[in-house]
Structure 1
Amino acid sequence: MRKTRGPLWAWTCVVLGGVFVLASAGGFVVTRVATSKVERSVHTADLFGPQPEFAADRGGRAKITGPLNILLVGIDPRPENPEEAPHGDSVMILHVPRELDRAYLFSLPRDLLVDIPAWERAQFAGSRYDKLTHAMTYGARRDGAPSDVASGFGLLARTVSGYTGITSFDAGLVINFAGFQQVVAELGGVDMYIDQRVESIHLTPDGEPRWKLPGDPPHRVYEPGPRHLSASEALDYVRQRYTEGGDYTRQRHQQQFIRALVSKATSVSVLTSPGRLGAVVGAAGDALTFDGRGASIVDFAVALHGIGQDRMALVRLPGHNIGTGAGYQGEELEPVAKEFFAAVASDRVDEFLGHHLELINR
């Protein structure tokens, strides 16, 4: 695996909201001005409801200790229907062991069949054997009121906890895919290895939205091999799930995309340009809503500064569909996933993956 110069706090820079840093041979410094700018840029909200908060150190900063579990949810607002309540289109969990020197990223299928509990905040009575993606929708939707993304995230988090046994999360993040595209644009795109042929259901070869055109317009195609993806291409590529491997392929591509983003965000051309890094942070702030249980984006960035891209493993959880065609009901994970969740909850992921190397994505 190719190493990058920067640590995981640079992944935090893009995916968790961003920090300005000055890198040097002697370490790194988060400047006071940069810290203030970052914390003002990122939207915050109460995503979890009442939970214990991190204790503060003598300087007033949150003292973050491991192990950590951070819930990341991507929503994909539909431009043709802006009033529609959001779906949890992408659900990921970043697990950081107690030592805070490595991390594991894994995904849950959007159509995973789960029990969604009652949610008083949205006057939702609960739903059994439903798709995970709907938890965000049910929690965000309330008759006669605007859609509430924070409430939707809260119900989705409780649903994920019930399914995985991960009883609480140390931070949460909602990523608006449309806004996230601006981050990639500010970075100048990303370099990825396309590992299989992918045909887009969303765009034509020249980038036009297919749903706006009559008939059956041609599809944009991503052929295997190394490729530089523009912002719109990257977002389109990682959204595709109607391809060989279905949503499990999409999960892999999204994880690969995050790793590519780490590489680009930690490149010298970005870190040594205050203007360019500032634009990335501003774009990230527009795309993100964050809840760190009393800790800020910068607190997490400092706590995770020692984790490099080469210390972040991508984990694959195998599963299969229930029903096909018109009888399709959703997805179910294989029994090994429950064993993995137990390892996450007990902070034994290293040991578990040592016996299940097949679960590591490349």
Structure 2
Amino acid sequence: MLVGKAGKGGGKSSIWSGVPRWARTCTIFGVVLMVLSGAVLVGYEALLSRYEGSVGKADLFGDQAAGAQERKSNVKGPLNILLVGIDPRNPETPPLADSIMVLHVPESLDRAYIFSIPRDLYVDIPKFDKAGYRGGSGKINGAMSHGSIVQGENPSTPQGFELLAKTVQKVIGIDRFDAGAIINFTGFQKIVDAMGGVDMYIEREVRSEHREPDGTHRKGNPNGAGYIGPQAVYKKGDQHLSGWQALDYVRQRYPKNGVPDSDYGRQRHQQQFIKAMVNQAFSADVVTNPIMLDRVIRAAGQSLTFNGRGSSVVDFAIALKGIRSENVELIKLPGEGIGTGSAYRGERLLPVADDFFAALRDEQLDAFMLEHPEFRNKAK
């Protein structure tokens, strides 16, 4: 059931159960944390330590293993932050990067660019001695899995993140990331719950592959692949989405369900949801309500593992406090499939994407975007 946007005197959906275990959306959550946390935390000193204490910490870049000293410094731009969403399965299963996003913040720290790396992007994955990986070619989401292998122990997600970061750095052409985060599913339902749902514009009608109108899972087709039964429908226009609806909507990627551009459409919907969630989090309902804000911040911290290479998540959040949703540019990197049908090998970026990366490195993205408006993913 899709609940329309509530007006005066209207209620909002209270259907919160049964949120799918799907971590691609978790990366959205990480972007929201990085962009809005500073603004809502400034002036709430009691929440700062609680937020900082709840965020997981790990050596995501191998700095500690390399003997780097922990340092405290002011966060200065430009910044490149890698955000990876994972679906935490059993501890014996090597993790896959289900979603990969990069947040680029210019030197002025007053705006940001967000772009997704296609998880099927076919790339060269570098040699990684820690995991005994000799290097090779494959889909980029597998880099985290290759890098996570620890002899005689369960796979290490932070170690896998390190190889993924090295791989994405090669794609973009940068020497290092300034920070990184792993976002799991656990806290996402709680943050949407705490915010009372999210208002967003749906660009075209989409039908759910996975959910019935009441939010229950559709049943598997006994006669073959796929699902059977009624489908939840997300109608075009301004809508108010509850937790399961928001997560389900940004999961959809099949043309038969109303997403003609498949995974690129899903990436666009994820980015649109980022801006909608930021707007919701900046609303008076959240920012001026200490009890609600406390719930949001604690749920946020519980879903995040962060490494700021010497600076804390709060340091980064406060440094980014001047960014508002209208100053966040959503980017679509142009690409195409390699092979079709059973011969499909993955995705590749078109040559103009290299020009985008060059503009990023040279701090010329504003000029680049003026010349290439087709790179903009519209939020509405």
User: What is the TM-score normalised by the length of structure 2?
Assistant: 0.83
1:115 aligns with 2:124: yes
For 1:145, which of 145, 153, 161 is the aligned residue? 153
Residue of structure 2 equivalent to 1:250: 266
How many residues were matched structurally? Answer: 339
Tell me the amino acid that sits aligned with residue 128 of structure 2.
W
Quote the offset at 1:147 in angstroms: 2.5
Distance 1:189 1:53 in 2: 42
For 1:187, which of 170, 192, 195 is the aligned residue? 195
Tell me the amino acid that sits aligned with residue 172 of structure 2.
T
CA 1:31–1:222: 2 relative to 1, 3 Å: closer
Residue of structure 1 equivalent to 2:244: 232
Contact 1:47 1:172 in 2 (8 A): yes
Residue of structure 1 equivalent to 2:140: 132
Distance 1:312 1:292 in 2: 21
Residue of structure 1 equivalent to 2:115: 106
Q: Deviations over 1:313-346 (max 9, x none)?
A: 1111111111112211111111111110111112
Distance 2:232 2:95 in 1: 26
Distance 1:13 1:254 in 2: 11
* RMSD (Å), alpha carbons: 2.4
Distance 1:316 1:337 in 2: 9
Residue correspondence of structure 1 range 207-226 to structure 2 within 5 A? 207-210=215-218, 216-218=227-229, 219-226=231-238
Residue of structure 1 equivalent to 2:75: 64
1:264 aligns to what SS in structure 2? helix
Q: Deviations over 1:120-152 (max 9, x none)?
A: 222222221x10111112122345422311111
CA 1:53–1:233: 2 relative to 1, 3 Å: farther
Contact 1:18 1:284 in 2 (8 A): no
Quote the offset at 1:99 in angstroms: 0.9
Quote the offset at 1:188 in angstroms: 1.3
Q: Deviations over 1:170-213 (max 9, x none)?
A: 11011113432221121111111111233333323332233668
Residue correspondence of structure 1 range 30-109 to structure 2 within 5 A? 30-50=43-63, 56=72, 62-78=73-89, 83-109=92-118
CA 1:223–1:178: 2 relative to 1, 3 Å: farther
Quote the offset at 1:237 in angstroms: 1.5
* Contiguous gaps of at least 5 residues in structure 2: 1-28
Quote the offset at 1:31 in angstroms: 4.1
CA 1:13–1:74: 2 relative to 1, 3 Å: closer
Distance 1:21 1:110 in 2: 31
Distance 1:236 1:30 in 2: 35
Q: Deviations over 1:30-52 (max 9, x none)?
A: 44422211110111111111287
Residue of structure 1 equivalent to 2:23: none
Q: Deviations over 1:41-74 (max 9, x none)?
A: 1111111112878964xxxxx3111100111111
Quote the offset at 1:17 in angstroms: 9.5
